[in-house]
């Protein structure tokens, strides 16, 4: 397969690397590739009050908006058959029983690329999940943490999160910290939970003038040149699929 051009969701053009020839040149018969062996899996992990109420507040569905936005991009690109996504709460990825129920059973096999997009407490627990999966032999292709929160002892006591600071393991890591010029109530909550101070590690580590609650804005705003986290995630997934799965 020769290198080809694709159009990213932001309208920019990108070039996909050429992939190896999958069928000998003297065999012109169509090659059938099972979609089940070519899927990518994305876990969208929400924070407090996202998928379910948190101390009578919510649910606000912050990361669900991100999930739905990205599903539309995949559908418009015609790659739905290769795409599998799960919308989870931060508490769904904390502890062996929950990980077995919501994570392991959601990944076809260990060769399947796994992508994790977490917001707030979901970013904190999602970062822990990247290491847990990697140690088990799963392929964590990308981690995107949107204003991760969890450093405060009080929020640990009242929430189902890991106590220790995450040590992410993934092929690529994008971290976005909300740094709004005009804080709102959601930023007060994030301050109470204590934003994760990420000083090193991410491939992209940026601050953004956006309020903590607006996960979608963090996801679709530029983080590298004109490219957003959404664009980078999309390009990675399409590159994988078009590199062999849809041959």
Q: Is residue 19 part of a domain?
A: no
* Span 231-247, average pLDDT: 84
More confident residue, 71 or 242: 71
* CB-count burial class (<10 Å; 0-12, 13-18, 19+) for 88: buried
> Can you give the residue range of the structural domain that contains 77?
39-245
Res. 213: pLDDT tops 80: yes
Q: Is residue 228 part of a domain?
A: yes
Task: Look at residues 73, 3, 2 and name the one whose alpha carbon lies nearest to residue 42.
Answer: 73
Q: Is residue 12 part of a domain?
A: no
Whole-number pLDDT of residue 151 = 67
Residue 13 is inside which H or E element, if any? strand 13-16
Domains: count for the chain: 1
Q: Count of CB atoms within 10 A of residue 2's CB?
A: 7
117-146 confidence digits (pLDDT tens): 999 999 999 999 999 999 999 999 999 999
Q: Which residues pair with 212 in a beta bridge?
A: none
Q: Is residue 8 part of a domain?
A: no
Q: Is residue 233 part of a domain?
A: yes
Here the tokens at position 225 are 């040149």
The answer to which of 78-82, 88-92, 139-143 has the lowest mean pLDDT is: 88-92
* Span 71-100, average pLDDT: 91
Q: Is residue 91 part of a domain?
A: yes
Res. 21: pLDDT tops 50: no
CATH, residue 124: 3.40.50
Instruction: Tally helices (H) and strands (E) across the chain.
Output: 7, 10
Provide the pLDDT confidence category of residue 171 given band limits of 50, 70 and 90. Answer: very high
Distance, CA of 137 to CA of 235 (rounded, Å) = 24
More confident residue, 140 or 8: 140
Res. 226: pLDDT tops 70: yes
* Span 79-102, average pLDDT: 89
Whole-number pLDDT of residue 56 = 40
More confident residue, 160 or 185: 185
Task: Look at residues 194, 203, 192 and name the one whose alpha carbon lies nearest to residue 168.
Answer: 203
Residue with tokens 């912050």: 62
Whole-number pLDDT of residue 30 = 36
Distance, CA of 236 to CA of 232 (rounded, Å) = 6
Distance, CA of 6 to CA of 89 (rounded, Å) = 33
Provide the pLDDT confidence category of residue 202 given band limits of 50, 70 and 90. Answer: very high
Which distant-in-sequence residues (6+ apart) come within 8 Å of 69 by Cβ?
216, 219, 220, 230
- The radius of gyration of the chain's CA atoms, rounded to the nearest angstrom, is 18
* Span 144-161, average pLDDT: 68
Provide the pLDDT confidence category of residue 157 given band limits of 50, 70 and 90. Answer: very low
Whole-number pLDDT of residue 98 = 85
Q: Is residue 4 part of a domain?
A: no
Whole-number pLDDT of residue 244 = 64
Reduce the DSSP state of residue 245 to 3 states and report it: helix
Distance, CA of 64 to CA of 62 (rounded, Å) = 5
Distance, CA of 32 to CA of 48 (rounded, Å) = 44
Residue 157: asked if its preceding bond is cis (omega within 30°), the reply is no
Whole-number pLDDT of residue 64 = 94
Provide the pLDDT confidence category of residue 188 given band limits of 50, 70 and 90. Answer: confident
Q: Is residue 185 part of a domain?
A: yes
Task: Look at residues 50, 146, 130, 124 and name the one whose alpha carbon lies nearest to residue 89.
Answer: 50
């Amino acid at each position: 397969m020769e290198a080809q051009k694709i159009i990213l969701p932001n309208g920019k053009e990108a070039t996909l690397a050429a992939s190896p020839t999958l069928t000998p040149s003297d065999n012109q018969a169509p090659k059938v590739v099972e979609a089940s062996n070519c899927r990518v899996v994305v876990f969208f992990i929400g924070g407090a009050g996202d998928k379910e109420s948190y101390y009578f507040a919510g649910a606000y569905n912050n990361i669900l908006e991100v999930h739905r936005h990205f599903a539309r991009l995949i559908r418009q690109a015609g790659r739905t058959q290769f795409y599998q996504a799960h919308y989870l709460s931060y508490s769904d990825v904390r502890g062996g029983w929950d990980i077995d129920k919501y994570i392991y059973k959601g990944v076809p096999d260990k060769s399947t690329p796994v992508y994790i997009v977490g917001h707030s407490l979901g970013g904190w627990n999602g970062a822990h999940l990247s290491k847990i999966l990697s140690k088990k032999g799963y392929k964590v292709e990308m981690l995107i943490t949107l204003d991760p929160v969890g450093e405060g002892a009080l929020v640990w006591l009242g929430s189902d999160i890991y106590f220790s600071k995450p040590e992410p393991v993934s092929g690529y890591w994008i971290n976005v910290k909300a740094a709004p010029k005009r804080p709102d109530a959601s930023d007060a909550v994030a301050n109470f939970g204590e934003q994760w101070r990420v000083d090193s590690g991410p491939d992209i580590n940026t601050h953004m003038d956006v309020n903590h609650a607006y996960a979608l804005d963090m996801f679709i705003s530029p983080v590298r040149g004109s490219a957003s986290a959404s664009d980078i995630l999309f390009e990675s997934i399409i590159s994988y699929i078009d590199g062999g799965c849809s041959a």
